[in-house]
Amino acid sequence: MTGTPWQGDVVGLVEAFRAGERSPTEELEATLAAVEASDLNAVCHIDPDAARRGAASADVSLPYGGVPLAVKELLAVGGWPAAEGSIPLKDEIFTHDDISVERLKGAGAVAAVQTTSSEFGATNQTTTKLHGATRNPWNLERTPGGSSGGSAAGVAGGLFTLATASDGGGSIRIPAGFCGLIGLKSTFGRIPRGPGAILGNATSVEGTVSRSVRDAARYLDVTNGFDGRDPRSLPRVEGYEAGLGTHAGEVSSLRVAIVPDLSCAVVGPETEELVIEAAEELLAAAGMQRVDLDLRLPSIMGVWGATGGVGIRKSLGERWPDCAPDLGGVERYGQFAADKGFTIDAMARAETRRAEFNNAMAAMFDEVDIVLAATNPSTAFAAEGRIPHVFEGRESKAGNNGALTAPANIFGNPAIALPAGLASDGLPVSLQVLGPHFREDLLLEIAQIWERVHPVELAI
């Protein structure tokens, strides 16, 4: 009889394989059965035959030897659907593997299922005309967030341990936050993208949503490093997982500010209170030094949204505008805005605002080393329907749902989402830790200190 999928972290699963306590074939069959029985709608494609061949021949000495891999539908796996969550692309097929997928397979991961995303990754609600609504395992009426909603729902809901994600405005951290997981957005360029990736509306990165800090570190170890197909990618850095626990002295000297709303978003009062409590607890546990910060970040969401249609247009090609009725409203608007408003003057205004914002972020990190904030303005909202503009009684403008996470994308610095307990509605709240460029090691060290007291809890 097929058992249940592994409910621990990825590193623990690999250790179980090596100890002979579990086999890759057993784990794969449990994963496939769980996906089939699930009501989360987190998976949009399954490749059972290729996965079974991979599991049968797995080398468990590798970092991910035999682990079933779930790949977000925006990331390429050769031979898998390339729909990007959009009806006009429903018959397209990827012809190659994404660079990070290549590296994950090379480390022994067995590509098994494709996870749902919002259409073109454009919103933080994973609901599309093509696949329907993906559900949050903590409450099926709520969204797991987006755009990596299927990956987060599946990892938090116990379907699989290893899933790819990507983050162009918060799409790793938002769903990690809504589902009670760890979500690391690395420095722009740390993990190469593509081949064929464009800059788009923000400095997008690839990554994962995790059940443990060591899982996040191992993923970075496997996937980071320069690749010529992404000329903006950074040189390889070794030893993220091995380095855990070695930076405590440096962490205790860090200057830290607590700014729940980052001065650029509206955060609900209960969420704000819980984030402040978590931040103060983390400060005490890590021995970090709290400093006051008069933060004034300029608004950036208009720029982020105005330029987002470029990627959509690249994907749609000559299908636009005939395909407009098949697109979701946000995607249709974004494409229309790109067609009508992406003039050289508009680009100049966007780049001027982007430069102002980057200068403000640089000034912030001159005063502090770490900023603690909310990841999301409130707990997860409805799985279907309009994205809210009121958060626990506080009204906001459009774009507030990503306003807390987009700053790290525009500036390109690393940030990590950490589970910070449950709100009164029983749903996860998330603490976001923002660090300076290239210091994922510090964020992982801080996260591990937090994890000792607040480990990830699955929604099962």
Give the Cα separation of 171 and 162 in Å (integer): 16
Q: What is the pLDDT of residue 447?
A: 98
Catalytic residue among 72, 118, 151, 430: 72
> Catalytic residue at 171?
yes
Q: What is the pLDDT of residue 186?
A: 98
310 touches 338 (CB < 8 A): yes
- The owner of tokens 């993208």 is 193
| Residue ranges, the chain, pLDDT below 70 | 1, 199-202, 303, 305-308, 333-334, 336-342
Q: What is the pLDDT of residue 219?
A: 99
Residue 431 belongs to some domain of the structure: yes
Which CATH number goes with the domain that contains 108? 3.90.1300.10
Residue 1 belongs to some domain of the structure: no
Residue 399 belongs to some domain of the structure: yes
Q: What is the pLDDT of residue 110?
A: 98
Residue 62 belongs to some domain of the structure: yes
The domain in which residue 294 lies consists of 10-303+342-451
Q: Which amino acid is at 186?
A: S
Catalytic residue among 118, 171, 204, 430: 171
Q: Which amino acid is at 420?
A: A
> Catalytic residue at 72?
yes
Beta strands of 241-395 (E only): which ranges? Answer: 255-258, 289-290, 370-374, 390-391, 394-395
Residue 308 belongs to some domain of the structure: no
- Local structure of 26: helix, strand or coil: helix
Per DSSP, helices labelled H in 135-212 are: 149-156, 173-179
Q: Do β-strands 205-210 and 390-391 pair in parallel, antiparallel, or remain unpaired? A: unpaired
Tally of structural domains, the chain: 1
Structure tokens at 37: 């029985």
Q: What is the pLDDT of residue 330?
A: 77
Catalytic residue among 100, 147, 148, 210: 147
Structure tokens at 387: 């994205």
Q: Which amino acid is at 287?
A: G
Q: What is the pLDDT of residue 314?
A: 82
Taking the C-alpha atoms of 326, 331, 332 and 336 in order, what is their torsion angle to the nearest 10 degrees? -150
Q: Which residues contact 52 (CB under 8 A, 6 or more apart)?
A: 25, 28
Give the Cα separation of 7 and 424 in Å (integer): 26
Q: For residue 438, how far is the Cα from the chain centroid? A: 18
Residue 163 belongs to some domain of the structure: yes
- Sign of the torsion formed by the C-alpha atoms of 260, 141, 75 and 303: negative
